[in-house]
Amino acid sequence: MAQQQDKPVEQAPKPKPSMTKRVVIALVLGSLTGLFFGESTAWFAALGEIYIGLLQMTVLPYITVTLIVSIGRLGWDQGKKLMAYGAITTAVLWVLGLATILIMPAVLPAWETGSFFKPEMLAPPPSVDFMDLFLPLNIFASLSRNVVPAVVVFCLAVGIALIGMPNKDKLLPMLEVLSEALMRINKAVVRFTPYGVFAIAVGVASTLTLHEIGQLQGYVLTYTLACVYLGLVFVPMVIAAVTPFTYREIMGVSKDALITAFATGKVLIVLPLLIENTRVLFEDHARAQGTEADAEGSASSVRAIYPLAYPFPSLGKVLCLMFVPFAAWFAGTPLELADYPPMLTAGLFSMFGGPVVALPFLMDLFRIPREFFQYFIATGVWTARVGDLLSATHLVAVAVITTSAMGGLLKIRWLQLLRLIVVTVVLGTATVFGVRAYLGTTIDGVESPADIVDTMDLYAVQTGLIAETQELTEATPNPTPRAEDESTVDRILRRRVLRVGYAQERRPFAYRNTSGKLVGLDIDLANRLALDLGATLELVPIELEKLPDHFALDHVDVALGGIEGTTKLALESSLSPAYLKVHSAFLVRDSNRRDWKTLAAIRALDKPKVGVLQSSELEDLLPLFFKGMTVERLDSPEPFLQGDRDDIDALFMSAEVGAFWSISYPRYRVVRPAEATLVLPVVLAYPKSAEDLDEVIEHWVDLARTGGFMDHLVDHWILGKTATKKAPRWSIVRDVLEWTD
């Protein structure tokens, strides 16, 4: 008998990793790739945008079709229950979010700071067009612009109209087929999720710097901890405590969607996935309980609830209101306890327009400098993602609790809820003290705008184009008088020396930094003028009040120092075209900022006293606009800012200059009345006798403006964009292995 050969045992194929594992692996690998290669891999972000676009392609059409079908199949009683239970669940979640925001002040230690001027300070506050947001005046326009609330209102109207129609069964099956087709497309795109997440993670990790969020760590840390705890622990456990489902089952429904929402920063694109997983959850429960007949009703409710709940502010969006008390604290003007009820109420309703609309509105409402909104945008790379994670959990909570209530499945386990609340209070208290202690130890090491202002150097240092410079200690006549019939320009070219007079302590135009070096926008300007004339530079301290005398005594060829080109000055001196235009504003004590918001509010003040920094027609014009106002000329704003002039209520100056001073004195704020439109030119001044300088200076100023040089100076001294040199993004390949420069 032939010996039988043993047949090889076929090994079962190894199961593929779940989608969740693959997405997590892609997220980790993408982050490591970005950290390793740094900015050279930033182009991966474009691939991530393509993936997000493919996911978005079918979402809004799917919501439209599904919502119409789901509501159209409901009866009147079922529709009323869905609305009622959904509204109650959403309201409870909102209260939870608003209560969480109240912990923000307790987390933040004492802090005083200011900020550079931002053009947004001059812009009117944004307005929300609620008609465009909620009324589908043109449904095709709403669809094309992704105006989800208006689309939902349209779908509600069509779905409700279908409820009572006898022939709706002829339309609904066709819409269901279309819905299934859209779902298939979405599922096909979802298969590429690991690759899309990898590209997104590489793009983010290769460009996001820790320095950019260093000053914002109080908001970032608190918001992140709140979102993660609520999204992954508290809300899922609340769902498990009031429905027949376990915490594991709830996370099983949402985990893929949570990871995708976090990685992509888009909640909308995970709605089809959430709808499908939640429908399967209720079908499996009905099958286990032997009540398969209830599965169809639950599935119909699930399909209707998600699109209905999405346009309403989610927990992730509501918690963005944390940024308002944070920004107030960061600006050095913390909100008072009485400010919180109106802030939370107005914030909740304005959040229908999204954080981009709600936060600037609230910051303007509470007199928080709106330029701080840029910090919210800067942190959005991270915070928007953890917020979307919480928003996805919010939608799961609304859908599961509402559907359970409609199916009679709610059963509140009070003991389990009580334990969860006690644990949350204990953990929350420990977190507040821990974060506050951490911020207290790190905030002193954060470079503040005041530190930057005190140590700023000339823009010329960055470019390396520096004229040979000599500083005089006092104004004296030019040691080389003009020869007979010699012009000022001819003398400058003969001596190869340009004498420029500067007004002292005219921030940000001319002042001394902590090293004693003379710096400022106009010092940079004088340096460039000397270079272009091929001359060395002599800087002469002058007094603006004595400017005609300085010219008459031949102390300087040109004068600068934030000189505003007024009519009075033009009668005494020759003025160049404006090389900069500034906007009138008041610099006031922060506690009084509300009194200077509008012209009407200013006129209602009882005999206010305002300081101006130089003699001009403004000194005479202000009392004409504001009856009872008195004006006093000041040599410097510092007596007012240091508290030595309590009799003065405000300084009238440009918003650009006021913002620069407020950096060093953060208890003061720039306020520009809404109706104010006065724009003042900043000019160079020179003697009327120096007619030959007119054409030279006019041509040079035109070149400085059109050639971009003035833009660089504005970025450096007014906007603070280049005040500190930005280091390249840290990466392993450059900073550790040193393979690249």
Residues 310 and 405 placed together within one structural domain of the fold: yes
Residues 334 and 245 placed together within one structural domain of the fold: yes
What 3-state DSSP class applies to 170?
Answer: helix
Distance set, CA 386 to CA 128, 218, 230, 233, 393 (Å): 26, 15, 11, 14, 11
Tell me which residue of 353, 295, 310 sits closest to 86, measured CA to CA: 310
> How many other C-beta atoms can be found within 10 angstroms of the C-beta atom of residue 292?
10
Give the residue carrying structure tokens 């940024």: 323
Distance (Å, rounded) from C-alpha 75 to C-alpha 169? 13
- Position 76: which residue type? W
Distance (Å, rounded) from C-alpha 243 to C-alpha 417? 12
The H or E element containing residue 664 is helix 655-664
Distance set, CA 488 to CA 482, 496, 541, 575, 702 (Å): 7, 12, 20, 15, 20
| Domain annotation covers residue 737 | no
Residues 472 and 558 placed together within one structural domain of the fold: yes
Domain stops at, among 421, 445, 469: 445
Q: How many residues does the chain have?
A: 741
Give the residue carrying structure tokens 């694109």: 269
Domain stops at, among 661, 681, 701: 681
| Domain annotation covers residue 203 | no
What are the structure tokens assigned to 30, written together?
Answer: 């993408």
Residues 458 and 417 placed together within one structural domain of the fold: no
| Range(s) of the domain holding residue 299 | 26-40+56-186+213-445
Distance (Å, rounded) from C-alpha 153 to C-alpha 168? 20
Cross-strand pairs, 483: none
Distance (Å, rounded) from C-alpha 314 to C-alpha 227? 12
CA 79 to chain centroid: 39
Name the DSSP class of 321.
G
- Position 86: which residue type? G
Tell me which residue of 546, 262, 281, 244 sits closest to 404, measured CA to CA: 244
| Domain annotation covers residue 738 | no
Compute, in degrees rounded to 10, the torsion defined by CA atoms 247, 253, 259, 265.
-110
The per-residue pLDDT for range 177-223, each reduced to its tens digit, is: 998 898 788 788 878 888 888 887 888 777 765 555 555 777 888 89
Distance (Å, rounded) from C-alpha 634 to C-alpha 651? 9
Residues 601 and 468 placed together within one structural domain of the fold: no
DSSP 69-111: HHHHTS-HHHHHHHHHHHHHHHHHHHHHHHHHHTTHHHH----
| Domain annotation covers residue 733 | no
Angle between helices 172-190 and 59-72 (to 10 degrees): 150
Distance (Å, rounded) from C-alpha 216 to C-alpha 323? 10
Domain stops at, among 428, 445, 462: 445
Distance (Å, rounded) from C-alpha 621 to C-alpha 120? 27
Tell me which residue of 381, 46, 40, 10 sits closest to 220, measured CA to CA: 381
Residues 403 and 495 placed together within one structural domain of the fold: no
Rounded to a whole number, what is the distance in angstroms from the first to the last CA of the chain? 76
Residues 67 and 151 placed together within one structural domain of the fold: yes
| Domain annotation covers residue 13 | no
- Note whether 397 and 93 are within 8 A (CB): yes
Give the residue carrying structure tokens 């470019």: 463
| Domain annotation covers residue 626 | yes
CA 589 to chain centroid: 25
Q: Which residue stretches of 290-354 are H helix?
A: 295-309, 315-318, 323-330, 340-350
Distance (Å, rounded) from C-alpha 302 to C-alpha 180? 15
Residues 676 and 560 placed together within one structural domain of the fold: no
Cross-strand pairs, 587: 651, 670
Tell me which residue of 657, 645, 656 sits closest to 611, measured CA to CA: 645
Residue 146: what pLDDT? 72
Cross-strand pairs, 610: 631, 650
What 3-state DSSP class applies to 658?
Answer: helix
Q: How many CA atoms lie within 13 A of 664 on its CB side?
A: 16
Number of separate domains in the chain: 3
The per-residue pLDDT for range 76-111, each reduced to its tens digit, is: 777 788 888 888 998 999 999 999 998 878 888 766
The H or E element containing residue 226 is helix 217-229
| Domain annotation covers residue 421 | yes
Distance (Å, rounded) from C-alpha 123 to C-alpha 376? 18
**Is the sign of the CA dihedral 172, 178, 182, 185 positive or negative?**
positive
DSSP 465-518: ----EEE-SS----SSPPPTT--HHHHHHHHTEEEEEEETTBTTTBEE-TT--E
What are the structure tokens assigned to 161, written together?
Answer: 């109209």
What are the structure tokens assigned to 577, written together?
Answer: 């075209």
Residues 165 and 129 placed together within one structural domain of the fold: yes
Cross-strand pairs, 537: 469, 498
The CATH number of residue 603's host domain is 3.40.190.10
Cross-strand pairs, 681: 581
Residues 652 and 590 placed together within one structural domain of the fold: yes
Longest dimension (CA), the chain: 134
**Is the sign of the CA dihedral 620, 622, 628, 629 positive or negative?**
negative
Distance (Å, rounded) from C-alpha 656 to C-alpha 714? 10
Which parts of the chain sit beneath pLDDT 70?
1-16, 18, 20, 110-114, 119-130, 208-215, 292-295, 331-333, 350, 352-354, 356-357, 367, 369-371, 373-375, 377-381, 442-449, 614-620, 675, 723-730, 741
Residues 110 and 238 placed together within one structural domain of the fold: yes
| Domain annotation covers residue 305 | yes
Distance (Å, rounded) from C-alpha 188 to C-alpha 624? 71
Name the DSSP class of 152.
H
The CATH number of residue 62's host domain is 1.10.3860.10
Distance (Å, rounded) from C-alpha 157 to C-alpha 45? 39
Triad 734, 735, 738: Cα angle to 5°:
55
Residue 615: what pLDDT? 54
- Position 164: which residue type? G
> How many other C-beta atoms can be found within 10 angstroms of the C-beta atom of residue 221?
17
What 3-state DSSP class applies to 320?
Answer: helix
Dihedral-angle region of residue 38 (phi above 0 means left; psi in -120 to 50 means alpha; beta otherwise): left
> How many other C-beta atoms can be found within 10 angstroms of the C-beta atom of residue 682?
23
Residue 189: what pLDDT? 83
Give the residue carrying structure tokens 């859209």: 182
Q: Are strands 574-575 and 679-686 parallel, antiparallel or unpaired?
A: antiparallel
Residues 373 and 248 placed together within one structural domain of the fold: yes
3-state helix, strand, coil in the chain (%, to 5): 60, 10, 30
The per-residue pLDDT for range 202-212, each reduced to its tens digit, is: 887 777 655 55
- Note whether 155 and 310 are within 8 A (CB): no
Distance (Å, rounded) from C-alpha 450 to C-alpha 213? 18
Q: Are strands 536-542 and 469-471 parallel, antiparallel or unpaired?
A: parallel
